[in-house]
Amino acid sequence: MTDARAALARAADAGIHCLPIPTPFQVGRVNTYLIEDDPLTLVDSGPNSGTALDALERALAAHGRRVEDLELVIISHQHIDHLGLVSILARRSGAQVAALDLLAPRVERWKQSMDADDAFAERVMAEHGIPQDVRYALLAVSQSYRSWGAAATVTRPLAAGSELKLRDRTLRVLHRPGHSPSDTIFHDEQRAIVLGADHLIKHISSNPLISRPLEDEANEGNEPPDRPHALEIYIESLRATRAMQNVELVLAGHGEPVTDPVALIDERFRMYERRADKIRRLIAEEPSTAYEIAQALWGNVAVTQAYLTLSEVLGHVDLLIADGHVVEQRDGGLVRFAVA
């Protein structure tokens, strides 16, 4: 038996079943998790599509369950492949919906939040050199993706550090921002299992996306929020996870389970150091915008990947600035980076 199959079998023995759901996105299937407990619980939902709903219904049926049997649906974070079906599932089953308390307003004000996210992203892209035609194309893509998500009412807001008690287990609610501002993991200390969503993924590094802060939800657009340093935030979250006790298995939001989280986190730290050094050498050649650095690293990527690569570059530049290797130079509304 492979490590992945053994890990999934261990999770199943603990009453946690992985239900992979198709998505239209490059990342592929999203892992939702059925927890056989009281209440009957589903962690994440898949995107809002008939294909995803059909796959989820068939996956539940394989375990003798129906959508109508669900009693609690947990949202791990704000991305549409993880929450798109939540409203439909809750309406059909009457299930409660649990999410980090800071995330609840964003889920409930879905359209307004997406509008604010797009305005925030447009400002970040303009400041860091993405041409106007690419920005317009990216915003059009964002608009087209919105239907994969949907608003939902959070009936059980969860405070970071609190306990979510089921009949046979207690899940510790841990806020781990970075990949998104709302990333939340759920630790079953007794079984040494973490439901990790996209916080830690085995086969790919979780991209710390530059995202509008959760605290901005109450701002109503009155004052543009500062750009968060997503990679620095994510590294702090990874350090917190690395230091956790009683963690032998992380059930990821995509791909295989993580059976050695400490080793994987250490490898990610080494990767960040290598990437930052490569970017430092590029900046040493001449002051550059983040978009120019991204093009030097990856060339003309697909429009759908332009914001991902921008986020990656800005994350590593933030590390270089924090270490004193790089400084930020502003020319009007445009930001360039130069060696210190």
The single residue listed with the structure tokens 């106007």 is 132
pLDDT digits (tens, 9 = 90+) for 89-110: 999 999 999 999 999 999 999 9
Judge whether 33 and 18 are in contact, CB under 8 Å. yes
pLDDT digits (tens, 9 = 90+) for 141-154: 898 888 999 999 99
pLDDT of 258 above 80: yes
Q: Residue 202 has what pLDDT?
A: 95
Q: Residue 221 has what pLDDT?
A: 53
Helix, strand and coil content of the chain, in percent to the nearest 5, comes to 45, 20, 35
Judge whether 199 and 237 are in contact, CB under 8 Å. yes
The residues spanned by each domain of the chain are 3-136+138-270, 272-339
Fold of 272-339: Arc Repressor Mutant, subunit A (1.10.10)
Judge whether 211 and 180 are in contact, CB under 8 Å. yes
Q: Residue 227 has what pLDDT?
A: 93
∠ CA 221-181-90, nearest 5°, is 90
pLDDT digits (tens, 9 = 90+) for 16-50: 999 999 999 888 999 999 999 999 999 999 999 99
Average pLDDT, rounded, for the chain: 95
Q: What is the mean pLDDT of residues 285-308?
A: 91
One fold for 3-136+138-270 and 272-339: no
SS3 195: strand
Indicate the CATH number of 3-136+138-270 among 3.90.79.10, 1.10.1760.20, 3.60.15.10, 1.10.150.120: 3.60.15.10
d(CA 133, CA 150): 28
